[in-house]
Amino acid sequence: MPIVSHEKYCEMLDNAKKNKFAYPAINVVSESSANAVLQALAETKSDGIIQVSTGGGEFASGQAVKDAALGAISIAQHVHLVADRYDINVALHTDHCQANKVDSFLKPLLAASKERVEKGMGPLFQSHMFDGSAIPLEENMDIAVELLKECKELGIILEVEAGVVGGEEDGVNTEDIPAEKLYTTNEDMIYVHERLSEVEGARFMFAATFGNVHGVYKPGNVKLRPTILKDGQAAVTSKHGEAASFDLVFHGGSGSTLDEIRETLEYGVIKMNVDTDTQYAFTRPIADHMLKNYDGVLKVDGEVGNKKMYDPRGYLKKGETSMKERVIVAVKDLRGEGTTLGV
């Protein structure tokens, strides 16, 4: 079915929160990886979210162009075309956009959506993330509020972050930040709610941090404290009522235990980003293919090799299938199997 409308997307998020499951939000960098996500969602009868980071968009635009917004548009257009062949609901999202990339990444994407909306179509992306976690919270929210105003007019949901996700992603390294920065406080959560609520009627998601780390966990990394989400939600709803409860997003989940993942669902997590694990899943069978078919992939000692072995379609299909299987695991971990809302 077509990419979801704003109303359907909101219905998806409400359904997840009510029934305590979350949507896997899978980062993709190509048509092949996007196809893997669509297949997995269809096979598990789960709705879901396909997302593109600035680095993913830059890669998709080609090494000679390196235009993150252009690459993101390219992937989004592909998903808009292909998703129509599947019987699940899909939303398109952009991942971490730091403050210094708003003008070069988010603004062009909002402009592309505005152009579509003015023609009577839906926006290109259904949600965007602004990551102002590296700047003071007040400045973070100042920028977020202005972006939220633009998003509301276009029927787009905005995701924000307060607190810092540790580790490294897309060249942004936060491994040396003070440990306390990895935990969003109750006061921060109240402030975020109050600032974003200035935009009446707008829908937003919040990536609060509770010790999350991008990439693969190593011994000694900060441990997750999911109860921070519970306490923060309680602080917000105590002051502003149950309707103020956040739609929370879980970043940096690679290496988390199933119990930790499931616990966050009890506290309002409705979206969990998945990237590192699916990157590995895509690459692992390709490495296996190359090692097992060395003489066929390469023209060794004057031989001609084996075209069936070095044809990229052969090994990329293996990567796509393996990534699909890992997305299926994510859907099941998040209790999303069989939860599609259908048409």
- Residues marked active site are found at 95
Pairing of strands 90-94, 204-208: unpaired
CA gap 61, 70 in Å, rounded: 6
CA gap 299, 302 in Å, rounded: 6
DSSP 21-33: --EEEEE--SHHH
156 contacts 210 by C-beta, under 8 angstroms: no
Residue with tokens 């993330």, as numbered in its chain: 129
- The three-state secondary structure class of 269 is strand
Alpha-carbon 190 to chain mean position: 24
Q: Is the dihedral of CA 317, 320, 326, 332 positive or negative?
A: negative
Contacts of 15 (CB under 8 A, 6+ apart): 339, 341
